[in-house]
Amino acid sequence: MIPISEIFYSIQGEGKFVGCPSVFVRVGGCNMRCFGFGKEGCDSYYAVDKKFKSEWKLMKIDEIKKEISKYLKFNPHLVITGGEPMLYYKKLYPLLEWFENPITIETNTTVDIDFEKFSLYKKVIFAMSVKLSNSKEPKEKRIKKNVIKKYAKNKESFFKFVIDKDLNDEIQEIVKGFDNQIYCMPLGATKEELEKNAPFVFEFCLKHGYCYSDRIHIRLFGKKKGV
Ligand code: SF4
């Protein structure tokens, strides 16, 4: 059984596959809190904060497949997100064996997984959202270079950083030795916060040759869940 916060069909609003119709499976639970991103923590606090645990549904893999199947007629991507999905990487594995279209997993890239035994993870595109100091998580907890090295082997996997100020030294320290694409997106759990940070991040990306990612769902729907 896997704790699931929500499963929904929407348009990918950020990162490399922005605009693609996608089914989102959001697991409940994370090994971080990221209080630097707001007083509730990250924008998916309801999938992280244990006080929302009663809203998470413990689902069998077949139940998850059944829910995803409702949307297969749209030929969607599958996005596994959270919380931190890789906490459940063994239990989620049957989804990788079953789903035929591209799969992206959004991860903080700290969970050391066995890529040899669970080899289909080698084909997964990871949105490696390694946390920076603005998350207010301790450095030794958020940056695990030996783990990033394994996730970054698929060259389609990409880095995705959330920024609100010039954190380029930190970004460079993390990406050193990797040639995966780098996306930066504005910190912002609300439309107002996003609009405030977006112009700086746009200029920052231009200056350093990074890809800019907006957050379409925040612009259109603010804090609404399931979009
Ligand atoms: S690692 Fe990601 S999901 Fe976990 S608390 Fe931080 S921003 Fe939220």
pLDDT of residue 215: 94
73 CA distance to ligand 1 middle (Å): 31
Q: Is 84 in the pocket of ligand 1 (CB under 6 A)?
A: yes
Output the residue whose Cα is nearest ligand 1's atom 5.
33
Domain ranges of the chain: 2-159
Q: What angle do helix axes 61-69 and 89-98 make, rounded to 10 degrees? A: 40
pLDDT of residue 48: 94
Tokens 């993390």, residue located: 174
Q: Round the average pLDDT of the chain to a whole number and report it.
A: 95
The pair of structure tokens assigned to 166 is 């010039």
Residue 104 contacts residue 127 (beta carbons within 8 Å): yes
Q: What is the number of other CB atoms lying within 10 angstroms of the CB of residue 169?
A: 8
Q: Is 83 in the pocket of ligand 1 (CB under 6 A)?
A: yes
The CATH superfamily label for domain 2-159 reads Aldolase class I (3.20.20.70)
Q: Count Cβ neighbours within 10 Å for each residue of 179-207 and write b for 16 or more, e otherwise.
A: ebbbbbbbbbbeeebbeebbeebeebbee
pLDDT of residue 46: 92
The pair of structure tokens assigned to 212 is 């800019």
Average pLDDT of adjacent 10-residue blocks, the chain of 227 residues: 97 96 97 86 87 95 98 98 97 98 98 97 97 95 97 97 94 97 93 93 97 94 82
Output the residue whose Cα is nearest ligand 1's atom 3.
83
pLDDT of residue 213: 97
Closest atom, ligand 1, to C-alpha of 37: 7
11 CA distance to ligand 1 middle (Å): 21
